[in-house]
A and B are shown apart, each in its own frame.
Chain A
């Protein structure tokens, strides 16, 4: 909503500087987004009002003329090229040194006078473009005839126009009057309402027109009047000026008056050419199925029975509250005007305008809920202006159909409630003052209660707390102290899954991974690369109906695709190893219910290891970096996990392991299959770690399994075993770790894997560090020898393992 400060001045004396006014409006009323000062650059001495006294031909040029102007301090002669200059006009006059917009370059420039075609010019009669008002440069700007000669132009045309965003419940603020009432209230000055008086010299309105409402559920009120003998012409300059500042194009006096009153009161109006209204009859009814109307914007529209139409004897002439039809438009030949000012049910207007994809100044106002009372107010205001400005003769009486007319119920607001909600008491006289100024009727029958009736233009105020908001926003939110919450605290609720998620985030960061957050919406191409076609749940993701871009259509059922994209995106400018992770949810469709939002940690890594100087080396991050990540996490969480080779869609066979915690599968570690990585623009080997939080949580120990520290030293020993190439290393470890006798345990870790010279084909050698430990004694050489013998025997029996070099 635009708001002209000058227009505002017509209803209220604004006693605040512009910035302060804006701040107060923001505090109490609506969000002032910005403002524009018209004429800020006009020097009061150098840009003034002048009167054109005479216009004569230029002696040396056909297209130029010599104008004599009265500047307030005497006659001056100027050279002027504008075709529209005429004697008697009040015009804007600039003298040497005035800062103006250059007509050619469009940039500010200081006026320098020089002779034009041999004739001196004392100044310049200015166009709208030169004044920075518009791009109009064909002719000079003609000022209202009552503009005082010699006055600074800023006094006549200068203004400040605010751009204000109003809230969706305040239809009254879509009119200048609504803001005037706010300003009057918070600056404590009185409001001057616009005149609504007129005479009714013509015959009874009922003789002209027959109006009926056939759909009272959609049309709450319908007022109409008839004005005869209107003289169609231009509206006065002041009205045009205001319309333009508020973003509307002046058309003709009648149409301009309807727009002007709408901008003034917030209530839309519609003028018909009475002679084009068939059968002198207007009906507000639901449209028939498939009924059509060509609206004023020239579009042929198909209607349905959910929509309210305004019809004459021949059919639809307008879509109620949204836009009129072209068939009964006011034109230059209009003699008699039928003025409709009605009130429609807001939801219906919004639905219809949504369905037709047609929004208008009228529909934007109606859908916010205008009080029906405003119809009559605006009708009378428009009749006043029509009488004044078109010379029309108004028929006697208004047609006023108001089927649902009802008293606005009073709201009881207690002092106790005010204090309960706000935390402060507001003095009774302040409550009465604020509400009174805002137009509420307010009585205080007892000191602890107020009986409040909202004004008819404020249907948004319904309950006591709405009234309390009115009080505090004017009283001032700065008067609210900052207090501390009192009272009991709610019971804590355990959130193991979220806690685990945050622990995982910290662990991953500690392990050198950068957290990323990618979009939840993906596309089928990307999902199809990482999800097996046999996974019918993941391959049938939920789609959004109205995606903003094709690649953001489906709720992702895997994090892998967006993670790989992020990896590829960073690869363009990162030369060494990359480690990325995200914790997010997979949206798994569930029949007739919300999807299961399954939390997953997904990480990718790949690229070169860095040398001591941080430069890429030949050595690359590999599968065991990925696996090490998972192992570190399990170690930190105290979860026992095992890894099983597996074939998985999108992952490279022989380089893929499922993570088992107990019986559950809780994730996967793998190299991404090159055929999967390729379409993501990844030529290098890329590795994946995925952990499934819901499965992990089941294995998460409540607390770490604490063991006392050993009191006796362990005996350490390194051995090398030769086993079949195909025997997994883990089976060696399982045997070693399960070997115990006489209170002696063996701890083991692998520290090398070797193929080549000295190891037969089809075999591999594993180097294993052993540590023998007893709880109750220091081990002797013979204890260790006995344990080792037993261990080697079992390894040979079960795995065919032999001691290397033995």
Chain B
């Protein structure tokens, strides 16, 4: 390209026309290679040929070529922008998705509803300074019963039908599947000093017939607070907090008289029915009473405090125990407790 009579205008027009015809990123890239390519681009070659021009016309040629390059570079940028605008615009029109089509499936798992409920219950109490301590599921009868003031010949034992382990230790049948997590409270009392504020969660086992509200394997959370100055009103306060946390901040709680050998006084706590608010006499959740029994509680029996080596005239404490499955049944309105351990995905994936 040594012809100094070359028409920059014609060249410019040819390039511009070609650029206008380029209607995709690929075509623009191809146009750029043809015109402005580093090796073979026509304008590049033109610029490279400046040094070969006759000296008298070289300056004008150089100026013209450079102007042309700048013009084309600018035109390229403008075209690029136009095209990208139009591509975006296409995406929003012809390329628009039917966003109601299903998404690409992503594998997702869920925690078991009992695990979720267990965690939520635990969190409600750990927020009040309770620590979590776990203990064995297979227990000595002593911790499960005698140390909890449930002697062998006491009818209170009927409250806990027991699976006994068929192994003799020192000639005696003394191992069982714990019927409640109370034995772990006893273990905590044995090895800690007040102030004590613990939660003892875990699986328990009761030898009873299963039906919609009874399952032989269950999950319990018991709580225990022992210190100088712990009052039954503190128990009410702690359980009130828990009830609000789990069942809504407008919950009310009441205590009913009850009996558990390891507490004195002993109560059951009920919350007002969050389903019917006491207004439906055929409510399935509260059976029309307006109240739902949630858990058992009371002040730790002084004998248990004394047996743990503390002076019960000074140290008092409260304890409570709740069934996690029952809380889960209530919070989700599940009709049958046996769903939990049947492990049917159609059930489990709903939570």
Contact = CB atoms under 8 A, between A and B. Distances in A.
A545 B164 CA distance: 5
Interface stretch (B10-18, B46-54, B190-198): B190-198
Interface stretch (A265-273, A566-574, A797-805): A566-574
Contacts of A514: 109-110, 345, 348-349
B112 A347 contact: no
A465 B233 contact: no
Nearest to A493: B131
A393 interface: no
A689 to B, nearest CB: 13
Given A518-B341, A544-B164, A482 B237 contact: yes
A594 B341 contact: no
Nearest to B165: A542
B132 A544 contact: no
Given A27-B256, A480-B233, A597 B136 contact: yes
A167 B259 contact: yes
B21 interface: no
Given A168-B155, A512-B109, A595 B138 contact: yes
A452 to B, nearest CB: 15
Interface stretch (A289-297, A436-444, A471-479): A471-479
B271 interface: no
A489 B156 contact: no
Interface in A504-559: 505-506, 508-521, 542-548, 552, 555
Interface stretch (A86-94, A415-423, A639-647): A415-423
A502 B201 CA distance: 14
Contacts of B76: none
A469 B137 CA distance: 32
Interface in A477-497: 477-478, 480-490, 492-493, 495
Contacts of A421: 231-232, 265, 299, 316
Contact of A569 (B195, B216, B344): B344
Contact of B227 (A487, A502, A548, A580): A487
Interface residues of A, number: 98
A563 to B, nearest CB: 9
Interface string B257-295: 111010011111000000000000000000001000000
Contacts of B173: 545
Nearest to A167: B259
Contacts of B237: 481-485
Contact of B195 (A481, A484, A487, A517): A487
A482 B233 contact: yes
B104 A612 contact: yes
Interface string B310-351: 000100100000000000000000000000111111101100
A68 B164 CA distance: 68
Given A492-B131, A566-B343, A347 B154 contact: yes
A23 B209 CA distance: 29
Given A347-B154, A512-B108, A548-B216, A594 B259 contact: no
A340 interface: no
A26 interface: yes
B9 to A, nearest CB: 46
Q: Size class of B's contact patch?
A: 35 or more
B105 interface: yes
Given A485-B129, A570-B344, A520 B256 contact: no
Which of the listed residues B134, B138, B165, B259 has the most CB atoms from chain A within 10 Å of its own CB? B138
B344 A28 contact: no
Contacts of A783: none
B218 to A, nearest CB: 11
Nearest to B107: A512
Contact of A477 (B192, B203, B234, B257): B257
Contacts of A613: 102, 105
A590 to B, nearest CB: 10
A542 B139 CA distance: 13
B320 to A, nearest CB: 13
B115 A483 contact: no
Contacts of A489: 129, 195, 197
Contacts of B129: 485, 489-490
A579 B112 contact: no
A505 B115 contact: yes
B339 to A, nearest CB: 11
A778 interface: no
Contact of B233 (A23, A26, A466, A481): A481
Given A516-B343, A545-B165, A487 B265 contact: no
Contact of B169 (A463, A469, A482, A592): A592
A483 B259 contact: no
B227 A422 contact: no
7 contacts: A168-B158, A509-B110, A514-B110, A515-B110, A542-B167, A555-B165, A579-B109
Given A505-B115, A512-B107, A545-B163, 6 more contacts: A30-B257, A484-B237, A509-B108, A511-B109, A518-B341, A569-B343
Interface of A: 23, 26-31, 167-170, 346-348, 350-351, 364, 367-368, 417, 419-424, 463, 465-466, 468-469, 472-473, 477-478, 480-490, 492-493, 495, 498, 502, 505-506, 508-521, 542-548, 552, 555, 566, 569-570, 573-574, 577-581, 585, 587, 589, 592-595, 597, 610, 612-614
Q: Which 5 pairs show the lowest CB-CB distances between chains A and B? A: A512-B107, A423-B233, A347-B153, A423-B231, A167-B259
